[in-house]
Amino acid sequence: MTRIASAEEARVLLHQMIRIRRFEEACAQHYGAGRIRGFLHLYIGEEAIAAGAMPCLRDDDSVLATYREHGHALARGVPMDTVMAEMFGKREGCCRGRGGSMHLFDASRRFFGGNAIVAGALPMALGFALAERLRRTDRIAACFFGEGAMAEGEFHETANLAVLWRLPLLLLCENNGYAMGTALARSESDTDLCAKARSYRMSAASVDGMNVGAVRDAMRHAVAHVRSGEGPMFVEFRTYRFRAHSMFDPDLYRDKAEVERWKERCPIAAFQRHVAALGLAVDVEAIEREVAAEVASATAFAEAGTLEPVEDLALDVVAQD
């Protein structure tokens, strides 16, 4: 585990991971109660990536993500109450209830959304990076995606053009081992994801995605590389989702013992042990109380929200006279 400089630094990282975990657990409960509908892909087990990576980006950088993006949105600063309201399909949500779980979006924070299409955000992130290059800014575009996206043509087209045009693009692969229900070794002839990125002459690094300190340090290096004009970079975060692919998934393709082995590497519990070993005083109970209050407040906000009237069904869909 990477060394942490202070108790405050440890508290911030631990708070964000616990915050994401408790939000996701609450969403699972609301889904079971029928308050959240449609697809729901939980980030439980992968919290160290969003918590460690997002603070390394500037507020004016662009961020795009996948359909498993609740943690990214929260870490980016999208208020929890508007995220929860979006989950509930309420007008007070960050997308007025029209996006739902897979399409969180907040332009004011340059969080340009989740995407229901595997690899769908990659060419859009390339466009954001190209725009910054043409404007001659030092802003960068960062795109989170799963390892399943690397079997799609969009990844290869994006990687090729990003290197060819030396664009300020940061490709962040959350490799949780399973593209939906398909293990990496069953879908990729070469499971060395960094080798795929390097085949385009792109700098690449592989990181323990269960270690929030390692994520943060790798992200700092990657951001500095891209922002300095050295061209795009690929980072693989080796991680694992503790829950099924989605709430609809019976999760019959993974051995239960494998899941339990990964749970022993829980990023939150591992970081707490590391902080204790360093002798840093972090009040975990206080963090839990603070997060519980925020989740309860977000739930109350969502429950009190309003549904969009039926007469607005075609708003922003069909051109108005």
* Amino acid at residue number 44: I
DSSP secondary structure of 266-279: -HHHHHHHHHHHTT
Q: Averaged in consecutive runs of 10 residues, what is the pLDDT profile of the chain (321 residues)?
A: 82 98 98 95 98 98 97 98 98 95 97 94 98 97 97 97 98 96 92 97 98 97 97 98 93 94 97 93 96 98 94 81 65
**SS in 3 state form for 114-134?**
CCCCCCCHHHHHHHHHHHHHH
* Res 306: pLDDT: 96
Contact 30, 299 (CB under 8 A): yes
Q: How far apart are CA 86 and CA 76, in angstroms?
A: 16
* Amino acid at residue number 32: G
On the 0-12 / 13-18 / 19+ scale of CB atoms within 10 A, 54 is buried
| pLDDT tens sequence across 191-221 | 999 999 999 999 999 999 999 999 999 999 9
Contact 75, 20 (CB under 8 A): yes
For residue 109, the tally of other CB atoms under 10 A from its CB is 15
Contact 146, 176 (CB under 8 A): yes
Q: What are phi and psi of 195, to 5 degrees?
A: -65, -35
Statement: the pTM of the whole predicted model exceeds 0.75: yes
Domain ranges of the chain: 7-305
Find residue 16's DSSP bridge partners: none
For domain 7-305, say whether CATH 2.60.40.10 is its number.
Answer: no
Q: How far apart are CA 227 and CA 229, in angstroms?
A: 5
* Res 321: pLDDT: 65
For residue 125, the tally of other CB atoms under 10 A from its CB is 30
In order of 46, 246, 249, the CA distances from 101 in angstroms are: 17, 11, 16
| pLDDT tens sequence across 213-271 | 999 999 999 999 999 999 999 999 999 999 999 998 999 999 999 999 999 999 999 99
Strand order through the sheet with 233-238:
62-64, 141-146, 169-175, 233-238, 203-208
Find residue 172's DSSP bridge partners: 144, 235
